[in-house]
Structure 1
Amino acid sequence: MAWESILCLILLAAFYTYGFYLPSLWFDEGWSWHLARMPIPEMMRATAADRSPFLYYLLLHFWIRIAGESEWALRWPSVAFGVLATALAGRLADRGWGRPAGLFTILVMGLSPFWLYYVQEARMYTMLAAGALATFWSLEAILQRPDGRRFFWWMLLAAGTALTHYFGLFPVAVMAAGLGLWSAHRPVARRWWGWSMQGLPAMIGPWLLFARERFVSPEAFLRPPMTTVGLLTALAHGFWPGEWTWLPAAVLAAAALLRGHPFSRRWAVLFLGTLMLTAAVLLGIFSRFALFHPRYVIFLWALWAIGVGGGAVQIGEIMSDRLPRILRSRWIGVLFLFPLGAMLFHPWRAWLQDPHRGRDPYREAVAHVARQIRPGEAALALRANWAVLYYWERMQVPAPLLMGPETPIWEEGEVLSWLQEAHRRYGLPDRPWRLWLFEWQQEVVDPLRLFDRLLLENGFEVGGQPFGSLWVAYYETWPPFRKRPLTPFHADFEGKIELRGVHLREPRWPGDILGVTLAWARVEPVLRPARVFVHVLDPTGHLVAQQDGPLPNDLVPISGWPLDHAYPVFVRVLLPRDLHGAYIVRVGLYDPESGQRWRARWDSGEGDGVPVGRLERP
């Protein structure tokens, strides 16, 4: 590798490590910490049900026993793999298009906002990118001189990539197929390829068999089917922040093929083949319940960056040929990186100026609670949130932190039992019990907002404060906890959805929350989405308060509910402080795209909104 590339990598490594321990760990990083400190057998069982295999967590398990469990220690492996991946990308570009391409690739990849985020995160994504690029580099070594040792290293690196993240199977499969085609007419290479094709399944097969339930069981929540346009849009905007930033990156990557170098063709086959295989699996096999984020295919981003570096050199060479001899240089291609760099400047500056580096400030949230929590109080992480526990333990907060559910709860009785047991263990008898809630993506585990309902029905919310997307709320409750029964009610919405019960939680003071619990049931297939509105109207029909939202949320839409089963959905309506007199509470459904309301029939009438109760304010 050229000296300027080595110098650039050293500077990047220093840049990555400068203050990288200052932002808080967030939810996913807390999960890494939680798994890494488990005993290995327990870790294996936990990762078998997770979205990624065990290899990263196993490495982190041994690492934290050497380096400790600080933010610095937890994130350092990601930095190390990030520098390695950037170096491999530069070396591959150097191999294909020469020395300038290597440096251009290192700059494009190493300073990208997308890469900067994950290179400082205690997750497996830079390890995944490094594994895929190392496997590609090993394949290139085989093409130079096929022998058993090189096939063995390729097999080992391919297995490591697949066991770092399941999406790592995609580039491995494409490389295995390409290597097989290349070996078909080379007897020595064909024999070693055959051995590697037996060894590779032997290395990853036992794990895939052990974790087989992960592939046959969908997520506990549904997502809209993924589309081709949606997938490509997610990749383009995820890899290259901004509306059109992906366009010059795509043009430069396409330019890498201008002169038809053999390496450029292999690079294109790997990039496009992996992209098409990923799309085929996500759109065909797992279109309904696959969870996708561009970071899962971070190796595609690394391959794209390699193409950008090569394309800049190719365009530079073509332009250089048209210049006087004294001005010709392969380095002139750097000029064609300027438009891309200019479009990335604002996202890069925003990342650099953000002290949290795009992460929620969990440390500050826990410190906020630690300063105020009193003896006899407790805290609940609703969705079990191990990043909250990480800071709770490090700050030695003198109060219990309860880990909430990790799978969706659909029955109110489960929430009631959970709160009663928590109060029995940690609350004081015959006294109000104060509970702090850390809420992050609570719609995943509490889609009907049953925790919110029971806490408000048995007390009130003292206050709340956002810390990024993490919400910290403070409740005072009066145990024992009791369910409030719903008043039977029947309203039919276009013969597809029925409202079967209602309960209004009266506000306790001016400006308090009106709690509305609605028991919904799907009685026929629901093909179009439905959103629910709750309106509070004065006697003249004037709207004084409202709350609109999905039914009950976008992860578990009513279209996926079992037929003829009613679930209570809790809705908060924040009331103005100056309400006095009698008000009508009306609910209904509407189409989110057209805004058209669903027609409803109930015992005493029909219309586009159903009156479900009266609210009296003194």
Structure 2
Amino acid sequence: MPRRPSAFALIVLIGAAAFALRLPGLASVPPRWDEGWSLAHAALPPGEILTVTAADVHPPLFYLALGAWRALAGPSLFAARLLGVLGGMLAIPLGFVAARAWGRGGPRVGVLAAAAMAWLPLAVYYSAVVRMYALVPAFLLLAAWGALSPGRRWAGVAFCLGALGAMLTLYHSVWALLGLGVYALLRARGRDRGRLLIWALLAACAYLPWAAYALPQLAGRAAAEGGNIGQQYPLTYFLEVAVMGLTLAGPLGWAGVLALAAVLVAGILATLPQARRAAQMLLPTLCVALTLLGISVAAKSWALNARMAIGAAPFLALGLGWALDALAARGRGLALAAAGAILLLFAPNALSVYAKTLEVFDPYDPGTYARHLAPQGRASDIAFFNVLSPAGFYSLDGRADLPGWSYALTWDPVIEPTERWQARITSALKTHPRGWLVLYRGLAGHNGDLRGWMDSTFYPAHAEWGEEEVFYGLYGAANGPLRAVELPSQTRWGTLELRQAGLPVSVDVGAILPVDLTWVAVQAQTMNGRIFVHALAPDGRVVAQHDAAPLNDLRPLFTLPVGERVTDHHGLALPLDYRGELRVVVGVYDPATGQRLLLPDGRDSLTLGTLSTTGR
């Protein structure tokens, strides 16, 4: 008679199958919006990771782990997604040992639970995206093994580390941990119950510093979302969404949910003669029910997506493994029939799940940001993104000739305090000669505050709009105060008068030449004119120019109140190959016709002064 394969061999085979399920599209599928956020967030220094995460809806452990992982494995999207695959794979052996500790039986229940964990669609999908959800099942199963193995060496440590890791990875892990804690306390006897409470207290104490730092911000954010559209829906609506999310039944609808429920109920019925064993189903019931209820209640103030149910996934896998084991005890044919029916029923759903098309946003071209910055950007420049997701996409390009990147967060999900991004940008433009502003969704929301500050504080040299309503602006900073220009008595173009101007004494080769102008509308403006500032070579050739209404087109001329002094900054982006003298001229023209307005003496421009380039 041939020997049966050992449990170890079966777990290895299950792990290999699970790895194969998680591989399709790992490198070829474009990154989703949330994946871009993860890539950029993890690239920040640890202190900044904590600061940004404290204002987000997720704790920091995944981002810290991803940053360390990418330092070892490289910056590619494949390498980043591989971390999730490995985290998901870790849940398979942990599912085996947790199921054995819980079921108090032979290895079969562990093997079946591990197989369910390997197959479960929600776990498969979120094991192959660059998000924290891949790590949650492993942490929860580690905590489950520790809580359900009283007296075992390191069991208490495992419970503490698993619970702490889960809560530092996903806040919604708390619901499954509550279910696990209740079940473990009901099952424990005598001193084991006290030891479990001590380890739970240690985990809570270890979590307390992060909770004190981040949870008040999270609570404030939830309060600010009091008018969330979720308030309009009943709790039952969110419960249905949560159930569908956990099972990823997709086109199967309730048929898929009922099929899984039928297997669980059949397992319970098979164990009814053994009341103690049937009572074991309280564990997955509590953990799954509390998770679905918890995320549904939270959705009233925030949002609900399939990924939020990931904390229930390992306990659903335990329940399926337990039920199949109970059926196998009555007859292997029953277990095979139940497992085969589930696999057959969910087979059509595999195409939508394993093709990895489930995320916050449909995939779009992640290379658009690099393509917009490449023509004029330089390696010595720095680009500031108002949301981390585009920065993550941009970082995947990896070209050495592109600007580096930083951030100034003014768009959901994290909006930084104004003084924080102001200090970051000001500091960066002391060491970088040129800075780019990349504004996702243009001037919407707090973006207008950021761009307005950039236009009034620095010197805009270029502006364009791209896909997804993205604004790209190039800016430079003045290296010290500008010298005042002595203006002639007649500096009026029509009803617009130039009152003051400033230029630097010199400018570095390839830098942005800053020009200060102060305008006054002496009468109401009827024309939407534009101001041009040119840097001319001695032969009259235009070396650099900037055309815009005041404040980089944010203050069109016809909006200027009569008598108000309007400070206007212009930056002239000099080419790297020009060296020598520059003459700076200013004028006004009608963009509708291209015709320049004339000064009282008949000239169409005013020379502000001359200066020379310095450096190599």
Using the size of structure 2 for normalisation, the TM-score is: 0.60
Q: 8 Å contact 1:384–1:406 — kept in the other structure?
A: no
Question: Partners in 2 of 1:278 and 1:350 — Cα distance?
Answer: 25
| Partner of residue 272, structure 1 | 285
The one-letter code matched in structure 2 to 1:233 is E
Matching of residue 480 in structure 1 with residue 553 in structure 2 = yes
Shift of 1:421: 5.3
Decide which of 317, 339, 344 is 1:337's aligned counterpart.
Answer: 339
What is residue 189 of structure 1 aligned with on the other side? 192
Residues 167 and 375 of structure 1: is their aligned pair in 2 closer, same or farther, counting only changes over 3 Å? same
- Decide whether the 8 Å contact of 1:381 with 1:439 is kept in 2: no
Specify the alignment match of 1:370 in structure 2.
371
CA RMSD of the aligned region, Å? 4.1
Check conservation: 1:271, 1:304, Cα contact below 8 A: yes
**Residue 159 (structure 1) aligned to one of 158, 164, 184:** 164
- Relative distance call for 1:131 and 1:264 in structure 2 (3 A) is farther
Distance 1:27 1:483, change over 3 A: farther
- The 1-side partners of 2:63 and 2:158 are apart by 22
> 2:44 corresponds to which letter in structure 1?
M
C-alpha separation in 2, matches of 1:35 and 1:401: 11
Task: Show the 5 A alignment for 1:131-530.
Answer: 131-142=139-150, 146=151, 149-183=154-188, 185-186=189-190, 188-219=191-222, 220-221=224-225, 222-225=228-231, 227-238=234-245, 239=247, 240-242=249-251, 243=253, 244-258=255-269, 259-260=271-272, 265=278, 267-278=280-291, 281-282=294-295, 286=298, 288-318=300-330, 320=331, 330=332, 332-352=334-354, 354=355, 364-366=365-367, 370=371, 374-375=375-376, 383-385=387-389, 386-391=391-396, 393-394=398-399, 397=402, 405-407=410-412, 416=448, 418-420=450-452, 427-428=460-461, 433-438=463-468, 479-482=552-555
Q: How many residues align?
A: 434
Partners in 2 of 1:360 and 1:290 — Cα distance? 17
The alpha-carbon distance between structure 1 residues 159 and 379, as it changes in their structure 2 partners (threshold 3 A), is: closer
> Which residue identity does 1:241 align to in structure 2?
G
Distance 1:379 1:364, change over 3 A: farther
- 2:97 is the alignment partner of 1:84: no
| Deviation, structure 1 residue 79 | 1.1
* Residue identity in the other structure for 1:195: I
Residue deviations 1:375-433 (CA, integer Å, cap 9, x gap): 3899996755233332355585579998662248999796555445556868547xxx4
Measure the CA separation in 2 of the matches of 1:356 and 1:412. Answer: 28
Aligned partners of 1:412 and 1:371: how far apart in 2? 20
Partner of residue 40 from structure 1, selected from 13, 23, 46 = 46
What amino acid is aligned across from residue 144 of structure 2 in structure 1?
F
SS of the residue corresponding to residue 224 of structure 1 reads: helix
Q: 1:300 to 1:362 in 2, by over 3 A?
A: closer
Aligned CA distance change for structure 1 residues 265 and 52 (closer, same or farther; 3 Å): farther
Partner of 2:73: 67
Per the alignment, in what secondary structure is the counterpart of residue 44 of structure 2?
coil
Aligned match for 2:128, one of 102, 120, 124: 120
Cα 1:356–1:223 change in 2 (3 A) is closer
Distance in 2, Cα, partners of 1:7 & 1:48: 40
Asked whether the equivalents of residues 146 and 157 of structure 2 are also in contact (C-alpha less than 8 Å), the reply is no
Q: Do 1:148 and 1:192's aligned partners in 2 also have CA atoms closer than 8 Å?
A: no
* C-alpha displacement of 1:103: 4.4
Change (3 A) 1:118 1:137: same
Secondary structure of 1:435's aligned partner: strand
SS in 2 for 1:307: helix
Distance 2:296 2:302 in 1: 9
> What per-residue deviation string (whole Å, max 9, x for no partner) do you get for residues 75-117 of structure 1?
2221111111123334444663755554444444323432222
CA distance in 2, matches of 1:31, 1:458: 40
Q: Write the distance in 2 (CA, Å) between the matches of 1:400 and 1:205.
A: 33
* CA deviations over 1:112-152 (Å, ceiling 9, x no partner): 4322221111211121111111111222221xxx2674223
* Partner SS for 1:166: coil
- 2:122 and 2:310 in contact (8 A); partners too: no
Structure 2 CA distance for aligned equivalents of residues 458 and 355 of structure 1: 51
Provide the C-alpha distance between the structure 2 equivalents of 1:477 and 1:253, rounded to a whole number of angstroms: 68
Shift of residue 363, structure 1, vs aligned partner: 7.8
156 and 414 in structure 1: CA distance in 2 versus 1, 3 angstrom threshold: closer
Q: CA, structure 1 residues 192+316, in 2 after alignment: closer, same or farther (shift >3 Å)?
A: closer
Residues 43 and 67 of structure 2 are in contact (CA less than 8 Å); yes or no, is this contact kept in structure 1?
Answer: yes
Which segment drifts farther, 79-88 or 104-113?
104-113
Q: Which residue pairs with 1:540 in the alignment?
A: none
Please state whether the residue corresponding to 2:396 is helix, strand or coil.
helix
In structure 1, what is the Cα distance between the partners aligned to 2:275 and 2:449? 65
- Is contact 1:161-1:168 (8 Å) kept? yes
The verdict on how the C-alpha distance between 1:391 and 1:147 changes in structure 2, with shifts beyond 3 A counting, is closer
Give the residue type in structure 2 aligned to 1:117.
Answer: Y
Q: 1:82 touches 1:126 (CA, 8 Å); kept in 2?
A: yes
Q: So what's the TM-score if we normalise by structure 1?
A: 0.60
Q: Percent identity?
A: 18
Q: 1:21 aligns with which of 17, 22, 27?
A: 27
Residue 299 and residue 280 in structure 1: after superposition, are their counterparts in 2 closer, same or farther (change >3 A)? closer
Whether 1:6 aligns to 2:15 is no
Q: Give the distance between the partners of 1:180 and 1:105, measured in 2 at CA.
A: 23
1:575-614 alpha-carbon deviations (Å, 9 max, x no partner): xxxxxxxxxxxxxxxxxxxxxxxxxxxxxxxxxxxxxxxx
